[in-house]
Each structure stands twice: as C-alpha cells, then as structure tokens.
Structure 1
Amino acid sequence: MKFFRLAVVLSFVLFLSGCDKNVVYKAHEDIDDGLWYIKDKPTFKVEITDTTQSYNVYYLLRNALQYPYYNLYLTRNFTGPDQKVISNTLEEVYISNETTGKPYGHGLGDLFDHKIPFLKNYRFPRSGTYTFVLSQSMRQNPLPFIISVGISVEKVPVKP
C-alpha cells in the first residue's frame, strides 16, 4: 500500500513539473488516418490578454517515419481580433535531413514530434482572440503520414 501511495505522489509531482508556466496556448488537431487533405485546415484560436509580453509561436507537427519528403510546405493564415488578416504566409519547414533522411525532432518508435518556431519575440498588437489556420501546400493530395498539426504560444522568459 505504501508503494502505491508513493507511486501516486511521485506521478503527481512529475505531472506538475511537466507543466510550463510560460505556455499560453498549446493545441493540436489529429489528422484522420494520417492523410492530410488540402481542404482540411486546422484552426486554432488563441486568447491574448497581455500585449506588453513578447511571445514565441511554434508549429507542432507529428509525422510517421514513412513520411515521403524531407520538408513540408504550410500555408498559415493569421488574423487578429478584428478579423483582419495579419499575414497569409507560405512557409517551408524541414522535418528530416535532406541528404541522410534522418528525422529532426523527437521520436518514439516510428513517430516524430517537431516544434518549429515561426514567430520569435512577437508582440500581439492588441488583446483579444487571434486565429491561426494551417493548411498543407504540397503537391500531393492527400499528404500521407502526417499524424497531427498544431501550434504553441509561449511567453518569452524574462532574463534576470
């Protein structure tokens, strides 16, 4: 019984230590059957209250090792609280080494997670809800072996 209590307490402590107080928003959307169609556009709504704070914003990607390319073209539509487009950007991200094929990111088995920055030290101009819409812009439709996509918005830590 003591072992069980110790295991529960230790698990709880590890869970709390895994939480990052700088993360303002973190979400991902699973891609059905690992087939990302061009028409599928995961949407993420981020509530920003502190406009004096600088933020880093990241793509969160999960792919299977069988993903046939070293890169991924993403289109990111970014709108502000007033529904005006802040940016509509086509961006190439690299998820494995072009020469060796070795995946970047962190892997477990044949799945690899990537955290790729796309806005660094960004200050949101006003408080409110910002919307990020992601779509794949590769020539293949559907794009296979993409398991999930998402974003993370994190406060830039203040250096002492």
Structure 2
Amino acid sequence: MSRAEEFAGVGLMRKLLAAGAVALAMLAPGASAQSGAWTYAYVGGVATATQRDNGGRVTATLTCSPPTGDIIITDYTLGRHARRATIAAVRIGAMSVNVPMSLEGRGRNARVLINLPQRPPILAAVQPTDRLSVTVNGQTHEYLEGGPARMREVAYACWGS
C-alpha cells in the first residue's frame, strides 16, 4: 500500500467518525425529549396529550373529541389503588375538583378513567408553573411539568377556543 493510499484511508476514517459524531449529537436531544415527557397529537379529530415515564411507558393520557367535548384523563398508574373508588380529585395548582371516575381493565392493565365536563372551571385558573395531579383513594399521581398546558392544548383543539 502506497503512502497516498494510506492517507486516503485515514482521511476517510476521520470523515466517517465525524459524520457519526454529528449524527449522534443530532439524535441525542430528540431521544432525551421523549423520555419522561409529554407528547401531543391531533389525529382523526381527537386531540391527545400523552405522558411517558423514563422507560417510555405511557403513564397518562389527556384526550378530547367532539361532539361531547369532555376531556378524558386516563391514568395508568393508579389502577391498583382505585378499587371500589367512584370519585377522583383532579387538581391544577391550588384549585381542585372532585369528579366521577371509573376503572377499566384488571391487574397491571387496570386504568383510571376520569371524564371532565366540557370547559371545566379548573382550566380557567391555570398558571404557567402549576402542576396537574389526580388523587384516588388517598394515592396521588402528580403529572410531569407542562400537564396543565397540555390539557389546555387538548381542550382548545377540541372546543376551538
């Protein structure tokens, strides 16, 4: 192998290494944004905000679809604690409302469903630093930062204003 061929091979290796580093740098922010965060989608007339934990598992969803306009909170972490419960407390910041809830599924697949009526009063009081939480049978699940803002996005997509 000549010296020129040797340098060409080293140059190619450096370019490949640099391209790989750039690709990893571009992927890293996207990957970290998905872990332990909210995502939002509007598909088929249904607005959905989904919270995932650091392992990528869905822990809660906020959905709304016309014509009812109800916001449905589905919590996948409180199922074990919701046996025989009929009421859930939904809190945003300092304001809380008690609303009917139901339990679907069994065992690990159990999930709490809460229907907030159209234009719930707790949305009017949302502040940028507020947190969203749900309490069932004394167990509270506080959602990640941005929960009230995601709820507002879901509501506005459903109601139009």
Is the strand fraction higher in 1 or 2? 1
User: Same fold by TM-score, threshold 0.5 exceeded?
Assistant: no
Relative to total residues, which structure has the larger helix share, 1 or 2? 2
TM bracket, shorter-chain basis: 0.3 to 0.5
TM-score normalised to the size of structure 1?
Answer: 0.35
